[in-house]
Amino acid sequence: MNQQKITFVVNGNTYSLAASDPASIREMALADRQQLILLLESVKRQDALAQATVDNLANGANASPTPSQKPADTHKHPPGGVANPERLGAGDIDALMARLAFEEKASRKPAVSRQRIYTIAAGCTAAIIALAVIF
């Protein structure tokens, strides 16, 4: 089970690690390892919050999760821990569609309200009457 190596820099030190290579992980400096763990825990929390938000949007809920809430891990990963990008499960497709629908709805311009239409019509009528009176 070969994992791809990930190269990163922590506190000026460059590391190239793979999950299947525990020896290189043990060789990291303790302070750098602790910083990396804090960063990865933060990434994991943000991923869980993003997934919970997508799930809430897919279910029609308007409330977004607060950082104090811990959403359940809804990702189903294969035994190796690496998701196969060619094969998406039903939950992944639903989450993707919900996210795309939300982004489209957020980027759409608001519709013109009736009050705005009446205001424009009244302004045009007043302008026409004013031009008729002047000329």
Report the C-alpha gap between 10 and 112 in whole angstroms. Answer: 52
The pTM of the full predicted model, rounded to 2 decimals, is 0.40
Q: Where are the domains of the chain?
A: 1-78, 85-135
Is residue 36 within 8 Å of 10, Cβ to Cβ? yes
Write 12-21 long-range contacts (CB < 8 A, 24+). 19/81
Report the C-alpha gap between 88 and 81 in whole angstroms. Answer: 15
What is residue 77's predicted lDDT score, i.e. its pLDDT? Answer: 47
Q: What is the pLDDT of residues 36-71, one digit of tens each?
A: 889 889 888 888 888 887 777 777 644 444 544 444
Report the C-alpha gap between 63 and 52 in whole angstroms. Answer: 11
Report the mean per-residue pLDDT for the chain: 77
Q: What are phi and psi of 86, to 5 degrees?
A: -75, -25
Strand partners, 9: 14
Report the C-alpha gap between 1 and 73 in whole angstroms. Answer: 24
Across 88-110, average pLDDT:
78
